[in-house]
């Protein structure tokens, strides 16, 4: 039986649970994964704040204040935050932590927060937990290890729970219905940490974002060339899908790096994942095996992808894909 | 420049891992180990920068049990000049966190004064993707994570980074922490003569106490489980049958 003192501590602990979510955005658009992170934050405790750091973030702040489950929005605006380099943003997060003493700080698992959250951990001397897929309590979480071939349940005793959460493991919070208070962050003296933004090349497309698309079509080595990989873009557009690729296709130069699905690329869990000409190496499967329905199209009947596919079609992709487009495409 | 490179000994990526019967960890005994592929990328970039005379000396470091020295010997054979092994026993190694490894690297940086630390972006066993960033935070150094291209410039580095949606170029002043992505380079194999030579290169073994390394756990593993297995599916005869099956499931309906 719990002693009354322990019980008292537990109750107090729950009452004062407070979580800070770091919003991801580009000063124009809020990244959708922030909504998944807000859902995860609400599973930890009752008091959820969101930090928006940028050079021009007022509009984003107003948008986030309306998200269901957000109690407070903290806005840090500074020209030095223009490109949101992790060195500068970490200064703002640490200042917010010193002011409000959050019990947890989390963000959606993306290249932005993978750079930021552990840096904050290094400053605050707290061990972060990466890519959380399940929240059991305010200090106990599950996360995949070994390319998703094992799931570790861990308990954190860190002074502040720093986490990145896997977007596909949590529903997006409703973008409306909330009424969070917006306030400016305390003034932060952002230091020069010796890093400078030079340039960015973002691939522009009208296709649904890979990480949050309802359907994803993904191409592998069997596409043979960059020219032939064009078929995958056409296929994606014809069914309104996001587009992905295996490492083999990326390494062979058929498509850009940021399309890679897998352990070290993007993790997706769409309603439908169509793997085209992909053998199904452990590292690729790690990035898509939580998809609701998996379809594999491959010439090789022995390809490991067929072991996890709900529906497997043994066929030449250059015949099957155009036929499929004709039958279900726009 | 003198660069410190962190390397980790991990289970070979081609091995299908198994969870032990007591569900406390995965089975590691008798399983082939390799240098973590991303550490290999980081090391290769240093070897290339040494060939172009940017880097003068490469030191590799690992934190782990005695068996992890094989990663250091391999790294020496691939072109590192000397190695440091922070030795912990098997029980201690099982509880190592990225934070502890970052502290070990920080302690050695302070002891030996380096111009930068190169690491892999993540280890393929714990999949944490933390050590480089933790270290940069601790040392208050700039960080360039997920490097796709590294050029030495003006006493620092210009780094092209792989980010969601594309690429980003940043400049970091030395000393800096850089973490390597897969496409940074293609690591070379160690040749037999170099493997023989590596046996004569210096390898310093130190205990955590020698560098006042705090290894207190902040994360306790309660249990490790196999993930739920996907039910085996079915083959369809042709595109028509595939479309019909998907429509039954409410897709394209």
User: Confidence class of residue B253 from pLDDT cuts 50, 70 and 90?
Assistant: confident
Cis ω for the linkage preceding B175 (within 30 of 0): yes
Query: If we measure between CA atoms, which residue out of A326, A327, A324, A328 comes closest to residue A315?
Result: A324
Which pLDDT score is estimated for A46? 72
Mean pLDDT in chain B?
A: 96
Residue A7 has pLDDT above 50, yes or no: no
Mean pLDDT of B122-146: 98
Token pair 């782990």 is at which residue?
A: B64
What's the pLDDT tens digit per position in A95-154?
999 999 999 999 999 999 999 999 999 999 999 999 999 999 999 999 999 999 999 999
User: Confidence class of residue A11 from pLDDT cuts 50, 70 and 90?
Assistant: very low
Token duo for residue B170: 């940043």
Question: What's the sign of the alpha-carbon dihedral A170, A171, A175, A180?
Answer: negative
Say whether A88 sits in a helix, a strand or coil.
helix
Which pLDDT score is estimated for B58? 98
Helix pair angle (A111-124, B131-139), 10° resolution: 50
* Residue B166, min C-alpha distance to chain A (Å): 4
> Beta strand pairing status for B57-64 and B82-87?
parallel
Residue A4 has pLDDT above 70, yes or no: no
pTM of the model: 0.93
Higher pLDDT: B211 or A45? It is B211
* B21 near A CB under 8 A: no
The answer to whether residues A121 and B134 touch, using CB atoms and an 8 Å cutoff, is yes
Look at A315 and B238 and tell me if their CB atoms are within 8 Å.
Answer: yes
Buried b / exposed e across A202-216, counting CB within 10 Å, b at 16+?
eeeeeebebbbbebb
Mean pLDDT of B1-22: 96
Query: Smallest Cβ distance to A128: which of B130, B139, B224?
Result: B130
Residue B153 has pLDDT above 90, yes or no: no
Phi and psi at residue B234, to the nearest 5°: -135, 155
The stretches of chain B forming alpha helices (DSSP H) are 37-51, 69-77, 90-94, 98-112, 131-139, 192-198, 239-248
Residue A67 has pLDDT above 90, yes or no: yes
Mean pLDDT of B50-71: 96
Tell me the chain B residues in contact with residue A85 when contact means C-beta distances shorter than 8 Å.
Answer: 170
Query: Smallest Cβ distance to B136: which of A119, A155, A256?
Result: A119
Contacts of B253 (CB under 8 A, 6+ apart): B247
Residue A13 has pLDDT above 80, yes or no: no
Mean pLDDT in chain A?
A: 93
Instruction: Tell me which residues of chain B, numbers 137 to 166, contact chain A at a CB-CB cutoff of 8 Å.
Output: 137-146, 148, 156, 158, 161-166
Tell me the chain A residues in contact with residue B176 when contact means C-beta distances shorter than 8 Å.
Answer: 194-195
Which pLDDT score is estimated for B229? 84
């Amino acid at each position: 039986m719990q002693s009354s003192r322990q019980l008292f501590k537990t109750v107090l602990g729950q009452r004062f649970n407070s979580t800070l979510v770091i919003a991801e955005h580009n000063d124009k658009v809020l990244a959708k994964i922030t909504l998944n992170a807000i859902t995860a934050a609400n599973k930890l405790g009752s008091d959820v704040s969101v930090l928006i750091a940028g050079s021009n973030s007022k509009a984003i702040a107003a948008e986030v204040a309306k998200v269901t489950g957000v109690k407070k929005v903290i806005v840090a605006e500074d020209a030095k935050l223009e490109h949101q380099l992790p060195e500068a943003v970490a200064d703002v997060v640490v200042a917010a932590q010193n002011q409000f003493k959050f019990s947890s700080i989390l963000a959606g698992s993306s290249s932005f927060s993978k750079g930021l959250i552990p840096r904050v951990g290094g400053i605050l001397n707290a061990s972060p937990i990466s890519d959380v897929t399940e929240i059991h309590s305010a200090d106990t979480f599950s996360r995949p290890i070994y390319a998703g071939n094992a799931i570790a349940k861990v308990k954190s005793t860190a002074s502040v729970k720093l986490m990145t959460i896997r977007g596909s493991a949590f529903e997006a919070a409703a973008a409306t219905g909330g009424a969070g208070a917006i306030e400016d962050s305390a003034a932060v003296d952002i230091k020069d940490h010796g890093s400078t933004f030079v340039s960015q090349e973002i691939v522009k497309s009208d296709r649904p974002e890979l990480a949050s698309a309802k359907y994803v079509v993904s191409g592998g080595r069997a596409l043979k060339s960059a020219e032939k990989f064009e078929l995958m873009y056409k296929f994606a557009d014809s069914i309104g899908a996001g587009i992905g690729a295996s490492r083999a296709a990326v390494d062979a130069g058929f498509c850009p790096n940021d399309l890679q699905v897998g352990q070290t690329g993007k993790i997706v869990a769409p309603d439908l994942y169509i793997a085209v000409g992909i053998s199904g190496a452990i590292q690729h499967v790690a990035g898509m095996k939580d998809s609701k329905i998996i379809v594999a199209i491959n010439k090789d009947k022995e390809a490991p992808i067929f072991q996890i596919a709900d529906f497997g079609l043994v066929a030449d992709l250059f015949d099957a894909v155009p036929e499929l487009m004709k039958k279900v495409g726009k | 420049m003198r660069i410190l490179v962190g390397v980790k000994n991990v289970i070979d990526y081609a091995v299908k891992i198994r969870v032990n019967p007591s569900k406390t960890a995965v089975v590691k005994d008798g399983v082939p180990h390799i240098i973590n592929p991303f550490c290999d990328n980081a090391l290769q970039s240093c070897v290339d920068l040494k060939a172009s005379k940017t880097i003068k000396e490469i030191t590799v470091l690992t934190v782990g049990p005695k068996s992890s020295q094989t990663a250091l010997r391999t790294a020496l054979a691939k072109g590192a000049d000397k190695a440091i092994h922070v030795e912990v026993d098997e029980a201690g190694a099982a509880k190592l966190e990225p934070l502890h490894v970052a502290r070990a690297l920080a302690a050695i940086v302070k002891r030996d004064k380096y111009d930068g630390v190169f690491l892999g972006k993540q280890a393929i066993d714990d999949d944490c993707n933390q050590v480089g960033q933790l270290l940069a935070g601790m040392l208050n150094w700039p960080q360039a994570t997920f490097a796709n291209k590294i050029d030495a410039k003006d006493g620092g580095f210009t780094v092209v980074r792989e980010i969601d949606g594309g690429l980003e170029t940043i400049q970091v002043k030395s000393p800096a922490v850089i973490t390597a992505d897969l496409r940074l380079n293609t690591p070379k194999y160690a040749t037999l003569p170099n493997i023989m030579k590596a046996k004569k290169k210096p390898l310093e073994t130190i205990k955590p106490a020698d560098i006042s390394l705090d290894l207190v756990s902040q994360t306790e593993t309660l249990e490790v489980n196999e993930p739920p297995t996907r039910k085996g599916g079915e083959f369809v005869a042709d595109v028509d049958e595939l479309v019909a099956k998907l429509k039954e499931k409410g897709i394209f309906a």
